[in-house]
Amino acid sequence: MADKITKIDSEKMDTASSVNDFLMKNRKPVLCVAAIVVVAIVVGIVTACVTDSIRKNDSIALDSISFELTKNSSALSDEEISERRKVAMDKLSSYASKKNIIGARANLLIAELYYQMDDFENARSHYLNVASISNKSYLAPNAYYNAAQCSESLKDYENAVSYYEKALTYNDFAASSHTLFNIGRVKEQLKDYEGAKEAYSKITSSYSSDEWAKLAKSRLIDFDLKGLVK
């Protein structure tokens, strides 16, 4: 047993000696690798700090643009409001290409401005940018909902239904019953009464105490009276 322990200790010493010899013979490369690791860590920390600082500055800039856009706006003429929108859009354009929350916020502001101008095509495009950039945040379902609203204004009913349905894929979307009702309403426009019935029925079964459920029930009764569905 003692011989076995002695042999193990000897092997440990040989291993330690080999490691030590390796480190001594290769101390420059090893030290270089260690230095590289330390530098990488430092660079990572600095980059994170710089990124965070840039993002904060960008957020402040967006707040400033929004403030300048709305400050004392009730007293402005239509021409002055139009000029403010133009200035705001010019400033926002440099932030809209960012693939982070700053880009999402910039696109959202631009979309709202286009929507106010009844430019639903451009508004929709920027709402979809918001959804793409922030596809896992609460902004996405609202952006899809707004893109659907723009599509309705453009009489693009097929895409309106598609974007409403995308909004519904988010479990935490607060306007689910309203969105389902909109799907039913748009499908009525398309004369897809079976599809409309399905949407209205989902409201009555899943949101029975909701105000939209009452409206959905009235539409289903109307369908029955007119013989529009089986």
Weakest-pLDDT range from 7-11, 145-149, 214-218, 224-228: 7-11
Q: Which amino acid is at 5?
A: I
Mean pLDDT of the chain: 84
What is the rounded distance in angstroms from the CA atom of residue 127 to the CA atom of residue 133? 10
User: How confident is the model at residue 25, as a pLDDT?
Assistant: 52
Which residue do the tokens 């204004």 mark?
A: 153
Per-residue pLDDT of 21-62, as tens digits, reads 544 554 555 455 445 455 455 444 444 444 567 678 999 999
Per-residue pLDDT of 116-163, as tens digits, reads 999 999 999 999 999 999 999 999 999 999 999 999 999 999 999 999
pTM of the model as a whole? 0.76
